[in-house]
Amino acid sequence: MFKQIICTISAACLAISGVPSRAADSSMLSSWYGGYFHGRTTANGETYNMYGYTAAHKTLPFGTKLRVCYQGCVDVRINDRGPYIGSRELDLSYGAAQAIGLIDPGVAYTSITYL
């Protein structure tokens, strides 16, 4: 049921954004990180901007672009490594998490489309 809801939301977001509708490539357990890291250097050497639309992943190449959907959708770019807590797979910047409604739950499965 939950997976159907996520796929429906993802398809709706893609339709609204004008991108051709297609199924999400996968789902990832996602979380977000913010204030403590704001202004610090990310793994690729950039300065972390908690209000930007970026993300951390353990293995995806830097520069990889993803569309991440939860209650809304946002396009992010991988510029950091992590998360390193439990089975989490993707750490969104605060701005990206806020854009899709992930701030309050903190951790949730999100639909991922590789761009």
pLDDT tens digit string along 28-56?
999 999 999 999 999 999 999 999 999 99
Q: Rounded to an integer, what distance in angstroms lies between the CA atom of residue 6 and that of residue 78?
A: 22
**Which structural domain range is residue 77 located in?**
2-114
Residue with tokens 């339709």: 15
pLDDT at 1 over 80: no
Domains held by the chain: number: 1
pLDDT at 25 over 60: yes
pLDDT at 6 over 80: no
* Nearest in space to 105 (alpha carbons), one of 10, 115, 88: 88
pLDDT of the residue at 17:
44
CATH number at residue 100: 2.40.40.10
pTM equals 0.79
pLDDT of the residue at 24:
55
